[in-house]
Structure 1
Amino acid sequence: MSKTALIAMSGGVDSSVAAELMKEKGFSCIGCTMRLYENDMIGEDLFGTCCSKKDTDDARAVTEKIGIPYHIFHYEKEFIDNVIEPFVCSYERGETPNPCIRCNKYLKFDILYKKAKELDCEYIVTGHYARIEEKDGHFYLKKATDLNKDQSYVLYDLTEEQLSHTMFPLGEFTKTEARQIAENNEFVTSHKSDSQDICFVPDGDYASMIKRYRGNDYPGGDIVDKEGNVLGHHNGIINYTIGQRRGLGVPADRRLYVTRLDVENNRVVLSDNEDLFEKEVMVRDFHWITGKMPEGDIRCNAKIRYKHKEQPATVTLPKEEGGICRILFDEPQRAITAGQSAVLYDGDVVLGGGIITKSFS
């Protein structure tokens, strides 16, 4: 009797190929799409095109072609509560969050994971570029073979138990190879372009999305230098992020960058590029994939944003579970940003990660 897998299908090429690969391996597959918001929201340009009728039609067309059943599951409220609302609150605190991490944690590998169990599926499958390895009774999350597409960073919140019931068929493939498989099978998604932005902010204008969601504007305030001298005026702190240079509207005789968001005083602080470099990072809500915090300080590589190349560092662990971790990089890193995740690697194995809460010079 074949094993059963629930395939999370976005209507894109990667999840389409993941479904095909699982079918080729002999699994009994069920395709599904998570509906995260209603089409009338899309019509109002509130959340963009993910979950659009075109996406679900494409996913359905692929499942029909490979001969597996297809379902749409409605998780609109769960998406608002676990992804949208925390995303907006994070920006209001002067942070720059990565909502894909929360979507993976709370939607794909929690709510949908539980749905898979209800359907008696032994595995949940996604089109992520990452690998899972079982060794000595433990399950490890590893980088993808194609490092240019590696998505292990946004999966650090998974547990060993979840990994034991998860499969990433594209982990051993390059993007070019995945597209070739789609073309060979004549999938309607084979030439579909990859999404470059957060699904509910397709135009990249986070501030406008937040204003629409909240139904209000945010108060302006002073733009100052690091000595507190007023340089100009901002139109709401949510419009700025650490390391930003463009769109500041401040005349200067040199390039200035956002180095701090002073939410308490509603000020945006500008300084020189060298002031963006720091070695120390404080991380909250740290999650270890093994479920157990190591003993003593550890040496590893750490990554502070999705496109950041991980760098060697020493991690000082809290005295008790749930405390703040301290990451000290060997060399200063640029634009360490609260709200982003710091993820630890031992070679190509993900150890865990957490949310950057504060950094010090």
Structure 2
Amino acid sequence: MTNSLDLPKAPADTRVVVAMSGGVDSSVTAAILKAEGYDVVGITLQLYDGGAQPRRAGACCAGQDIADARRTAEIIGIPHYVLDYEQRFRESVIDPFAASYLAGETPVPCIACNQTVKFRDLLATARDLGADALATGHYILSRPNGAHRSLHRPADLDRDQSYFLYGTTQEQLDFLRFPLGPLPKSETREIARLHGLEVAAKPDSQDICFVANGRYSDVIAKLRPEANEPGDIRHLDGRHLGRHDGIMGFTVGQRRGLGVASGEPLYVVAIEAATRTVRVGPREALATRRLALRDVNWLGDAPLAPGSGQEVFVKVRSTRPPAPAVLRMTPDGEVEVELSGAESGVSPGQACVVYDGEGAGARVFGGGVIARTSLTEALASVAA
């Protein structure tokens, strides 16, 4: 006989650590588990101190969030602890983010945060506290799968956070629980109201806790002053169009703020970090159909192996629905994705997440970081 978390214990004998960010989702997660009789312990991570710097509305981990998490814990009657993870966060998330950005990539820092600080370091702390599980307020499903658990898209696809959680390892997944996976957001807020939680109407976090004003470039300039080194802006056809003050001010797909005059609409199509060159071109140049992945995390039942290719669905952006693709591993062990339809503005550093379907409940097979696209390969061959 198992409890609602698929653990062979009575709820009262099951300790669950809940990662409490101070938002409505993690607060409701704690409230649901407490109401079901679990031994719940709330933990809030202090990840980044923005000081007196003004913050963008909706940014997570602001100073008020710790107070909100503490107040929620008081209302539902659970112990609550705040852990200083600032140094870990700096080393595992902020520094790699800056390095990736300077390499001309478009990194997704909240993926790294989930992979490291939250699901590696906090999970280890939860085990130290004698927990049987670590629960979070993410909108994603996990289900028993033989001796392990599998990861799936949630019921509320508008809130699907699988793109940010593909890097969860099998060992982590077996210990994690996601009580909000079956719920729509509207029901989550209603549960918060029923429990008298003051965060019931709190705006959603944007998962950019170390970017106070919403501008990545300001953070990069502070961490890596060399990012301000100027370089050329060149058309794909080789024309020199102008100069820029640093590649940190550009991302693939950007149209506004290029600082060059042209008779056609131009977009950033590639950033060549080695020469500090920003390549621009027409919108159609942004289209790509082939990706090469690195740092692949695979959650399928059978390991990836060289072969003819596996029909899957993939996401290359968190806001896009999964699209058909073919996944294959080359004889030398590299994972490639062939998209059925071209995707626009895909950049190295972004994630490509792999599914077995496209709807609610589709299984997450894992994914990886985009190392190259067909466009970056073509530019590299020209440069060579």
TM bucket normalised to smaller = over 0.9
How far apart, CA to CA, are the structure 1 residues paired with 2:164 and 2:341?
24
Q: Secondary structure at the match of 2:274?
A: coil
TM-score after normalising by structure 2: 0.89
Identify the range of structure 1 (181-190 vs 240-249) with the bigger mean alpha-carbon deviation. Answer: 181-190
| Secondary structure, aligned partner of 1:268 | strand
Distance 1:292 1:167, change over 3 A: same
Partner residue of 1:131? 141
Q: CA deviation at 1:318?
A: 3.7
Match of 2:369, SS state, is strand
8 Å contact from structure 1 (residues 285, 324) kept in 2:
no
The answer to whether the 8 Å contact 1:6/1:123 transfers is yes
- Asked if the contact 1:280/1:329 (under 8 Å) is kept, the reply is yes
Deviations 1:317-352 (A, max 9, x none): 1446xx421101112111111000111000210001
Which residue identity is paired with 1:275?
A
The answer to whether the 8 A contact 2:54-2:212 is kept is no
Is 1:147 the counterpart of 2:157? The answer is yes
Letter paired with 1:179: R
Give the equivalent residue in structure 2 for 1:317. 329
Alignment pair present for 1:95 and 2:105: yes
Question: Letter of the aligned partner of 2:335 in structure 1?
Answer: C
The CA distance in 2 between the partners of 1:45 and 1:238, in whole Å, is 21
- Alignment partner of 1:287 out of 297, 313, 338: 297
1:349 aligns to what?
Answer: 363
- Give the counterpart of 1:245 among 249, 255, 258: 255
Answer whether contact 2:48 2:209 (CA < 8 A) is retained: no
What residue number does 1:307 align with?
A: 319
Q: What amino acid does structure 1 have at the position aligned with 2:312?
A: C
Correspondence for 1:208: 218
8 A contact 1:159–1:289 mirrored in 2: yes
**Identity over aligned residues, as a percent?**
38
Aligned-partner Cα distance in 1 for 2:119–2:250? 31
SS of 2:258's partner is coil
* Separation in 2, partners of 1:228, 1:46: 41
Whether the aligned pair in 2 keeps the contact of 1:46 and 1:209 (CA below 8 Å) is no
Alignment counterpart, residue 3 of structure 1, candidates 11, 14, 26: 14
Task: Return 305-314 or 336-345, whichever deviates more.
Answer: 305-314
Q: 1:238 to 1:292 in 2, by over 3 A?
A: farther
SS at match of 2:113: helix
Q: Which residue of 2 aligns with 1:18?
A: 29
Q: 1:129-184: per-residue Cα shift (whole Å, max 9, x none)?
A: 00001133331100010000000111111122222211111111111111111122
Distance (whole Å) between structure 2 residues aligned to residue 125 and residue 74 of structure 1: 19
In the TM superposition, residue 203 of structure 1 has moved relative to its aligned partner by 2.2
Cα deviation 1:239-281 (Å, max 9, x = unaligned): 1111101111222222110001121221111100111111100
Which letter does structure 2 place at the counterpart of 1:25? E
Q: Which residue of 2 aligns with 1:69?
A: 79
1:155-170 pair list within 5 angstroms: 155-170=165-180
Q: Does 1:278 align with 2:288?
A: yes
Q: Which runs of 5+ in 1 are unaligned?
A: none
- What is the distance in 1 between the residues matched to 2:343 and 2:225? 37
Q: Over the residues paired in the alignment, what is the CA RMSD in angstroms?
A: 1.9
Q: CA deviation at 1:42?
A: 2.4
How far apart in 1 are the matches of 2:277 and 2:225?
Answer: 22
Question: Quick check: 1:197–1:203 contact (8 Å CA) kept in 2?
Answer: no
Structure 1 position 218 matched with structure 2 position 228: yes
Letter in 1 for 2:126: A
Report the equivalent of 1:194.
204
- Say yes or no: does 1:31 pair with 2:42: yes
* Aligned match for 2:245, one of 235, 240, 243: 235
Instruction: Tell me if the contact between 1:46 and 1:213 (Cα under 8 Å) persists in the aligned partners.
Output: no
Counterpart CA distance in 2 for 1:337 and 1:91 is: 11
Change (3 A) 1:47 1:34: farther
1:62 is displaced (CA, Å) by 0.4
Conservation of the 8 A alpha-carbon contact between 2:155 and 2:184: yes
1:359 and 2:373 matched: yes
SS at match of 1:278: strand
Count how many residue pairs are aligned between Structure 1 and Structure 2: 357
In 1: Cα distance, 2:140 partner to 2:196 partner: 25
What secondary structure does 2:294 align onto?
A: strand
| SS of equivalent to 1:134 | strand
Q: Does 1:86 align with 2:96?
A: yes
Q: Is the 8 A contact 2:329 2:335 kept in 1?
A: yes
Q: In the TM superposition, what is the alpha-carbon distance from 1:13 to its structure 2 partner? A: 0.7
Give 1:282 shift: 0.6
Letter in 2 for 1:343: V
Query: CA shift at 1:294, angstroms?
Result: 2.6
Task: Tell me, yes or no, if the aligned pair for 2:16 and 2:133 is still in contact at 8 Å.
Answer: yes
Give the drift of 1:117: 0.5
* Structure 2: 5+ residue stretches without partners: 1-11, 376-384
Q: TM-score, normalised by structure 1?
A: 0.94
- Please report how far the alpha carbon of residue 230 of structure 1 lies from its aligned counterpart in structure 2 after TM superposition: 1.2
Secondary structure of the corresponding residue to residue 139 of structure 1: strand
SS of corresponding position for 1:274: helix
In the other structure, the counterpart of 2:382 is: none
CA distance in 2, matches of 1:162, 1:264: 37
8 A Cα contact 1:22 1:29, kept in partner? yes
Flag the 1:98–1:8 CA change in 2: closer, same or farther, 3 A: same
Post-superposition shift, 1:50? 4.0
Structure 1: distance between partners of 2:225 and 2:250: 19
